């Protein structure tokens, strides 16, 4: 196992249902891998230290801050990003609810909130308001004051 | 960020060989929620990052008659999602449930919380009060260190360059015992403790008297602190307001906080006293089932 040069790592991963083979520099974040190597720029860079959640994606069904994951770490894993939420038939119900409830203003935090909220509802279809607020505590929004976001998520809850 | 190589060995032997080769220019990668922040801020300049999550031994989480074993790479959510751990080690679950938000808990774990050695590490006091032990490996073999001796200062531990935390071993609590941890933060979530207190109590079979107790403090000194005098003061004493107040005052004396952006010395000492009383009562409640 040679570690003398920071060589690239061969990564095979499934992103939004599609298999990708990549050569990723060992130190490149998953966020940069998605945005710069694959061109999936829907995932946003915010704080780069795990506070804001703007870069939230799902890895093997668990939400993570993609700025704090290395691209090399998703070898053999399933990654889902904001680009995978809508289908050709239409928006995901959460996206539709965010529009209807005006749960966004500038929009930078929105992909992260949507992926995080989907991560909750996929496993817990009927969360309480408290549970929604707890789950989304790792996502910051400086525009909406959160109430509209929480209402949008509640609208899609059972 | 200094460019580093990424390696993902599948055995402890391979991992410690790489760590040994690079000394302090290599680090093990568990959840990365501290490591990648420090690498990006150039606190650490690394040549190699050793992802430990392909090593089965470091990802093992087991709970049974011989206690709880937490592999160094096990993330928080796997600990709090385990109903057996929640039932037997509620104080540990209190800690892992409040480290970061959900995204962080998907990745961060007790192993990293311990090795990052923040005085405010919410996972550490409960490990201390449970008398947990760290299993460490290197090219020279293995050794064990009590958790209360593991951290030596902010971001400093007993780990020497080339050493790897393998697992945290927590003894099985005896009957009539209970534990609890809480912290004070001005927000509801996603914050760093102004002060934190973990308590473990062992009651007698009547549930009316303490047999023994251990109390540990976070964010009120350069490392998490085992407040021995406070815990020992409860041994053999009845469970009542007087004994609990006396132990809480001793915990306050054991705190050596500084004044910083999060709180003052006086506020932190006061918090330790109040939270110690509350956590003793909660641990007693849990011990009584």
Which H, E and C letters describe B183-245, residue by residue? EECCCCCCCCCCEEEEEEEEECCCCCEEEEEEEEEECCCCCCEECHHHHHCCCCCECCHHHHH
Beta A78-80 vs A8-15: how paired, if at all?
parallel
pLDDT of residue B138: 98
**Stretch A6-31: mean pLDDT:** 96
In a domain? residue A101: yes
Note whether B103 contacts A64, CB cutoff 8 Å: yes
- Rounded CA gap, B118 and B84, in Å? 28
pLDDT band with cut points at 50, 70 and 90 for residue B190: confident
Same domain, A122 and A64: no
A-chain residues near B190 (CB < 8 A): 51, 137-138
Bridge partner list, B178: B201
In a domain? residue A105: yes
pLDDT digits (tens, 9 = 90+) for B134-181: 999 999 999 999 999 999 999 999 999 999 999 999 999 999 999 999
Same domain, A57 and A28: yes
Residue B84 CB coordination number (10 Å): 11
Give the position of tokens 């979530």. B189
Residue B127 sits at the chain A interface (C-beta within 8 Å): no
pLDDT of residue A4: 47
In this prediction the ipTM stands at 0.96
pLDDT of residue A5: 54
B-chain residues near A134 (CB < 8 A): 188-189
Residue B77 sits at the chain A interface (C-beta within 8 Å): yes
* Whole-prediction pTM: 0.96
Same domain, A144 and A114: yes
Same domain, A42 and A108: no
Between chain A and chain B, the number of residue pairs with CB atoms below 8 A apart is: 107
Distance (Å) from the alpha carbon of B190 to chain A's nearest alpha carbon: 7
pLDDT of residue B188: 85
pLDDT reading at A11 higher than 50: yes
Same domain, A98 and A43: no
Chain A positions with Cβ closer than 8 Å to B: 1, 3-7, 9, 25-27, 29, 48-51, 53, 56, 59, 62-65, 67-70, 72-73, 75, 116, 119, 133-135, 137-139
Residue B265 sits at the chain A interface (C-beta within 8 Å): no
- Rounded CA gap, A128 and B236, in Å? 44
Distance (Å) from the alpha carbon of B123 to chain A's nearest alpha carbon: 18
Give the position of tokens 């070898």. A75
- Rounded CA gap, A61 and A138, in Å? 17
pLDDT digits (tens, 9 = 90+) for B10-50: 999 999 999 999 999 999 999 999 999 999 999 999 999 99
Give the position of tokens 């935090």. A109
pLDDT digits (tens, 9 = 90+) for A65-92: 999 999 999 999 999 999 999 999 999 9
pLDDT reading at A2 higher than 50: no
In a domain? residue A119: yes
DSSP states along B108-121: -BHHHHHHHT-TT-
Where is the domain boundary, A52, A83, A114?
A83
In a domain? residue A1: no
Residue B174 sits at the chain A interface (C-beta within 8 Å): no
Distance (Å) from the alpha carbon of A110 to chain B's nearest alpha carbon: 16
Please, are residues A66 and A34 in contact by the beta-carbon 8 Å criterion?
A: yes
Same domain, A97 and A64: no
**Stretch A110-133: mean pLDDT:** 98
Please, are residues A34 and A43 in contact by the beta-carbon 8 Å criterion?
A: yes
Note whether A3 contacts B47, CB cutoff 8 Å: yes
Strands (E), chain B: 5-7, 26-29, 48-51, 61-64, 67-71, 133-138, 141-146, 151-153, 156-157, 164-170, 177-184, 195-203, 210-218, 225-226
Note whether B47 contacts A6, CB cutoff 8 Å: yes
Please, are residues B164 and B15 in contact by the beta-carbon 8 Å criterion?
A: yes
Same domain, A114 and A145: yes
A-chain residues near B33 (CB < 8 A): 50, 65, 68
Same domain, A33 and A98: no
In a domain? residue A137: yes
Which residue of chain B has the CA closest to A64? B103
A-chain residues near B51 (CB < 8 A): 70, 72-73
Closest CA to B40 of A56, A110, A31, A8: A31
- Rounded CA gap, B239 and B119, in Å? 30
Question: Tokens for B198?
Answer: 């973990």
In a domain? residue A3: no
Bridge partner list, A22: A11
Query: What CATH number does residue A48 fall under?
Result: 3.10.20.30
Please, are residues A158 and A117 in contact by the beta-carbon 8 Å criterion?
A: no
Please, are residues B91 and B13 in contact by the beta-carbon 8 Å criterion?
A: no
A-chain residues near B102 (CB < 8 A): 63, 116, 119, 135, 137-138
Question: Tokens for B223?
Answer: 């490392």
Same domain, A107 and A148: yes
Same domain, A101 and A74: no
Query: What CATH number does residue A102 fall under?
Result: 1.10.150.120
Same domain, A71 and A36: yes
Mutate to test the interface with B, among A59, A65, A113, A124 (most CBs of B within 10 A): A65
Any residues with CB less than 8 A from the CB of A37 and at least 6 apart, and which? A22, A24, A28, A71
- Rounded CA gap, B37 and B96, in Å? 20
In a domain? residue A88: no
| Overall size of chain A counted in residues | 158
The C-alpha angle B204, B207, B209, rounded to 5 degrees, equals 60
Note whether B104 contacts A119, CB cutoff 8 Å: no
Please, are residues B59 and B18 in contact by the beta-carbon 8 Å criterion?
A: no
pLDDT reading at B97 higher than 60: yes
**Considering CB atoms only, which of B26, B51, B104 is closest to A50?**
B104
**Stretch B172-200: mean pLDDT:** 95
Number of domain units in chain A: 2
Instruction: Map out the domains of chain B with their CATH numbers.
Output: 5-50 (3.30.43), 57-170 (3.30.465.10), 177-288 (3.30.390.50)
pLDDT of residue A6: 67
- Rounded CA gap, B195 and A141, in Å? 27
Where is the domain boundary, A48, A64, A83?
A83
Question: Tokens for A34?
Answer: 């998605």
Closest CA to A3 of B165, B46, B153: B46
Question: Tokens for A54?
Answer: 């703007």
Closest CA to A83 of A46, A105, A57, A104: A57
**Stretch B169-194: mean pLDDT:** 95
Note whether B106 contacts A73, CB cutoff 8 Å: no
pLDDT reading at A7 higher than 90: no
Same domain, A16 and A70: yes
pLDDT of residue B189: 85
Where is the domain boundary, A83, A107, A141?
A83
Show the domain range for A120: 93-156
Question: Tokens for B229?
Answer: 């005098």
């Amino acid at each position: 196992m040679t570690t003398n040069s920071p060589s690239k790592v061969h990564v095979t991963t499934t992103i939004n249902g599609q298999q990708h083979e990549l050569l990723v520099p060992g130190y490149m974040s998953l966020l940069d891998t998605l945005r710069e190597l694959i061109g999936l720029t829907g995932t946003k860079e915010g704080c780069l230290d795990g506070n804001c959640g703007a870069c939230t994606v799902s890895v093997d069904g668990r939400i993570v801050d993609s700025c704090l994951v290395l691209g090399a770490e998703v070898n053999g894993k399933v990654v889902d990003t904001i680009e995978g939420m809508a289908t050709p038939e239409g928006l995901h119900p959460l996206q539709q609810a965010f529009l209807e409830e005006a749960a966004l203003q500038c929009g930078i935090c929105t992909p992260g909130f949507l992926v995080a909220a989907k991560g909750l509802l996929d496993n817990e279809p009927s969360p309480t308001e408290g549970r929604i607020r707890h789950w989304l505590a790792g996502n910051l929004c400086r525009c909406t004051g959160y109430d509209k976001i929480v209402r949008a998520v509640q609208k899609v809850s059972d | 960020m200094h460019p580093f190589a990424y390696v993902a060995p599948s055995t402890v032997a391979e991992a410690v060989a790489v760590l040994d080769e690079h000394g302090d220019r290599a680090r093990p990668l568990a959840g990365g929620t501290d490591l990648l922040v420090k690498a990006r801020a150039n606190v650490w300049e690394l040549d190699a990052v050793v992802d430990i999550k392909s090593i089965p031994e470091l990802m093992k989480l087991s709970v049974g008659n011989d206690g709880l074993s937490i592999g160094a790479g096990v993330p928080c959510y796997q600990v709090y999602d385990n109903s057996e751990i929640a039932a037997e080690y509620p104080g540990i679950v209190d800690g892992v449930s409040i480290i970061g938000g959900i995204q962080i808990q998907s990745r961060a774990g007790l192993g990293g919380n311990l090795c990052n050695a923040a005085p405010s590490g919410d996972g550490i006091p409960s490990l201390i009060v449970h008398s947990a032990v760290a299993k460490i490996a290197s090219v020279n073999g293995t050794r064990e260190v009590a958790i209360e001796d593991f951290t030596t200062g902010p971001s400093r531990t007993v780990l020497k360059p080339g050493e790897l935390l393998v697992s945290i071993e927590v003894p099985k609590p005896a009957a009539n015992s209970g534990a609890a941890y809480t912290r004070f933060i001005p927000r509801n979530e996603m914050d760093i403790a102004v002060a934190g207190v973990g308590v473990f109590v062992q009651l007698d079979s009547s549930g009316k008297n303490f047999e023994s107790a251990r109390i540990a403090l976070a964010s009120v000194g350069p490392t998490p602190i085992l407040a021995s005098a406070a815990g020992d003061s409860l041994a053999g004493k009845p469970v009542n307001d007087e004994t609990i107040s006396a132990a809480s005052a001793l915990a306050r004396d054991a705190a050596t906080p500084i004044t910083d952006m999060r709180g003052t010395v006086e506020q932190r000492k006061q918090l330790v006293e109040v939270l110690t009383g509350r956590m003793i009562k909660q641990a007693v409640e849990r011990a009584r089932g």
